[in-house]
């Protein structure tokens, strides 16, 4: 990760520890030359900087068409709303009273110089995934952490990971006392489906590789 982009990632608002970000960047560098990467859960763009840095590197190495897509409705998850643990009042739009992380995301990506590499898809994950048909070199799931949203993200996007591509899941905590269980359940589902095998882990970040089926085939 180039030092300037690492500094931007460190400075960005968000929920990605540096060691987990380094893993995300490393696996995205491995894969980004093979096709677009996509994350679910943009928030303010912290993890998108790691993905955008990998895309830049892949472009410079001869894959000019690759790109990082990042999906979010920018209204925040349950835990980002007022009164909850991860609420940040500075992210509330004063006119609507709703959370709006889109302006901060845009500033973050512009400051990092990654507007060409990182493309925001603004909307509900299920709305966007229902229309998605493009094989992905890497899928990073870090969206809503309620069971419903985490499973929808897997159901909607994971089948589009290409053979040899990576599925990266954030906030996988095996013990309930360490954190919410939905990402852990999605990780279990991915392994049980048989299409993915685990290839790496740092902290709460799990990396799985697609070992069977083609993009678009069911993954369980
Ligand atoms: C944990 S944060 C993402 C953190 C980010 N990856 C980072 O590194 O800082 C989860 C994000 O998912 C978004 N989100 C939650 N449910 C969603 C849904 N159903 N569709 C789209 N975005 C959703 C929230 O708005 C929130 O910004």
Residue 195 and residue 217: Cα distance in Å, rounded? 10
Residue 75 and residue 95: Cα distance in Å, rounded? 14
Where would I find the H helices in 32-146?
A: 46-60, 102-112, 125-129
> What is the C-alpha R_g of the chain?
16
Q: Which pLDDT value is given to residue 95?
A: 97
Q: Known catalytic residue: 151?
A: no
**Among candidate residues 214, 33, 11, the one with its CA nearest the CA of residue 137:** 33
**Does the Cβ of 75 fall within 6 Å of ligand 1?**
yes
Q: Which pLDDT value is given to residue 208?
A: 98
Can you count the helices (H) and strands (E) in the chain?
Answer: 7, 7
Q: Which pLDDT value is given to residue 172?
A: 98
Q: Which pLDDT value is given to residue 66?
A: 98
**Does the Cβ of 43 fall within 6 Å of ligand 1?**
yes
Q: Which two tokens stand for residue 104?
A: 């901060």
Q: Which pLDDT value is given to residue 39?
A: 98
Q: Which pLDDT value is given to residue 52?
A: 98
Active site residue: 34, 73, 74, 145, which one? 145
Q: Which pLDDT value is given to residue 196?
A: 98
> What global pTM score does this model have?
0.98
The string of pLDDT tens digits covering residues 161-184 is 999 999 999 999 999 999 999 999
Residue 58 and residue 156: Cα distance in Å, rounded? 26
**Does the Cβ of 210 fall within 6 Å of ligand 1?**
no
Residues of the chain with pLDDT under 50: none
Atom index in ligand 1 nearest the CA of residue 143 equals 12
Of 42, 120, 150, which is best to mutate to test ligand 1, by the most ligand atoms within 8 angstroms of its C-beta?
42
């Amino acid at each position: 990760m180039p030092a300037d982009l690492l500094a931007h990632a460190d400075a960005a608002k968000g929920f990605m520890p540096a060691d987990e970000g380094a893993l995300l960047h490393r696996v995205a560098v491995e894969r980004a030359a093979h096709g677009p990467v996509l994350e679910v859960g943009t928030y303010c763009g912290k993890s998108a900087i790691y993905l955008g840095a990998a895309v830049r590197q892949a472009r410079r190495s001869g894959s000019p068409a690759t790109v990082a897509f990042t999906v979010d409705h920018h209204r925040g998850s349950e835990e980002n709303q007022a009164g909850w643990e991860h609420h940040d009042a500075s992210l509330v739009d004063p006119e609507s009273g709703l959370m709006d992380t889109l302006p901060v995301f845009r500033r973050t990506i512009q400051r990092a110089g990654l507007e060409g590499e990182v493309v925001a898809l603004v909307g509900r994950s299920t709305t966007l995934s229902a229309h998605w048909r493009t094989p992905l070199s890497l899928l990073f799931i870090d969206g809503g952490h309620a069971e419903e949203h985490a499973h929808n993200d897997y159901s909607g996007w994971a089948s589009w990971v290409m053979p040899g591509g990576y599925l990266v899941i954030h906030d996988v905590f095996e013990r309930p006392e360490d954190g919410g269980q939905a990402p852990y359940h999605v990780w279990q589902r991915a392994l049980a489906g048989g299409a993915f095998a685990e290839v790496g882990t740092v902290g709460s970040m799990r990396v799985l590789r697609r070992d069977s089926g083609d993009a678009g085939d069911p993954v369980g």
